[in-house]
Structure 1
């Protein structure tokens, strides 16, 4: 998105831009006949069908089985109402961007998309905002006013280590993921994690895996192009936003740039593998890309996979019985 950044606008104008961007560009693309932002199980009964190998026996419809004299199950459709929790990384590493947006602003757009698309049918939305010094919790509530208030909180979140929260954290993002797993609703819902995932994988993989065991889990990885490749700009001063350490790097050397790109690619592969092991649907958004297009492609791809699984050819149950 070109023009002034969100933080350069008055709060009411920034929120209005967020809402218009999401509703104009996404509305109608992702709603359709599907009942949720992501395909997945729910609690509302759907059509009955004949049992096939691999079906969960807990979905057996015994009345239908007795009438049809063959094993039948009853599918479920995604719930119309659910509780969604977003875990948003607002640590110092997110205060960076060389594309159209800073990573922090791109994270706000991702939360806005999730919020506006899941709030249409009265779904509740809550958030945990991760600062370097702790976690700020926003209780789950329904309604447009609550969503706009949450987005306003994200836009005004302090930069760097100036955040505030409930308790200091040694590994902010990993600890916050563990906290969300303990405090989110017990019933199955949607958990959306938005971060650059630059903490060590072992700090967040297990908490996310536990979170994904109870909820649909979407991991939104926010990336800037300069984190992937190093430009040839002569002597470059690099500052670690987490520690403040500075280092002079001579970028003219081709071998240095190649080593940097290889290391960055390896880091991203490790992050993707960690998210895969955690059972998360993985969406990567870039500050120099079209985040709306990437989001639409991801959701439509998820739905195609879900539809292909539902349309798999029937197979005989072992021994002729479920």
Structure 2
């Protein structure tokens, strides 16, 4: 089984609730904002709401010390001595920060077999990052990766600017727009994720949060696992986006949001099917018998394992969102895990002699 993009057959998504871009954009964005602010605001409280916790520099009010949760390095000894009760002084994260996202809008992101396409879920993830960023006046910008190039959207404050960014993402050209494809003609080379990450790294040097939203699959089908490499043997080649992502992580706090559709992990038992590669337009007729489905599932699992390993080596935080799951709940669980981990790390560091 070759390792071209798993699950990139063209599927109709209209029967699954409709694509976000086909709905009224203003209504869609307002619904997204309500979902994000209502559900995440209640779960992720704090002076500076965000997906990844980080220290600030501005002193806040003193409060009682919580054993096992607070960093002893933040102990307010003057208040502690005056009240004879341990107190810590919180740090408010710096305001007027910049969060930049790289949004993958290449043709493979148009695939979807559940409640939405990967593209729509990616836009929803961008909306979550954006709404949490502009909530306290921080600036949010983005790089939009299309088949015809990378478009830079400048970082601005306010909901109006964020809405304009999300409109641009929703209105971008779709692989399922009905345009006929000619698989016999070799498509023009399109910018890849590695190039886009390098552009983000070079173009934005001010330290801050960087979010890469993609399926992390190569458009030419090579991916992290070279064709012919047996699953579980040898060491497959590393993806070309790993090195620029590692450079980006060296200077910024980076969150990688991997977008996955369930049919990219396993195939149904439906017999003969036609699959179209949205990147090239190539059509394949495949009989989905038990052997093919088992080999596909094994290759897909190995591919995702190598993507996860590459992100771990690059030093990024890794969040997986699926088109068949409650993505807001997944974001909330991820953020809460990160905050608990940050608290444990701070407690361990403060307990060292």
- TM-score range (shorter-chain normalised) is 0.7 to 0.9
Match of 2:133 among 118, 122, 127: 118
| Alpha-carbon distance, 1:159 to partner | 1.4
**Partner in structure 1 of residue 198 of structure 2:** 178
- Residue 131, structure 1, aligned to residue 146, structure 2: yes
- Residue 6, structure 1, aligned to residue 20, structure 2: yes
- CA distance in 1: counterparts of 2:176 and 2:246, whole angstroms: 28
**Partner in structure 2 of residue 70 of structure 1:** none
- Residue 221, structure 1, aligned to residue 269, structure 2: no
Deviations 1:242-289 (A, max 9, x none): 0111111101x2121111000000000000011111111000000001
Match of 2:241 among 178, 185, 204: 204
**Partner in structure 2 of residue 305 of structure 1:** 341
**Structure 1 stretches of 5 or more lacking a match?**
48-58, 65-73, 163-167, 317-322
| Alpha-carbon distance, 1:25 to partner | 2.1
Q: Helix, strand or coil: the match of 1:159? A: coil
Deviations 1:143-188 (A, max 9, x none): 11000000100100111399xxxxx96542110000000001x232
| Alpha-carbon distance, 1:121 to partner | 1.1
Deviations 1:192-222 (A, max 9, x none): 1100000235221111111111111000000
Query: Once superposed, what is the RMSD of the aligned Cα atoms?
Result: 2.4
- CA distance in 1: counterparts of 2:197 and 2:176, whole angstroms: 19
**Structure 2 stretches of 5 or more lacking a match?**
1-15, 63-72, 79-88, 178-187, 225-238
Deviations 1:30-59 (A, max 9, x none): 233555331124444689xxxxxxxxxxx9
TM-score of the superposed pair, with normalisation by structure 1? 0.82
Match of 2:31 among 14, 17, 41: 17
TM-score of the superposed pair, with normalisation by structure 2? 0.75
- Asked if the contact 2:47/2:92 (under 8 Å) is kept, the reply is no
Match of 2:206 among 187, 195, 209: 187
State how many pairs are aligned.
284
- CA distance in 2: counterparts of 1:283 and 1:129, whole angstroms: 19
- CA distance in 2: counterparts of 1:261 and 1:94, whole angstroms: 20
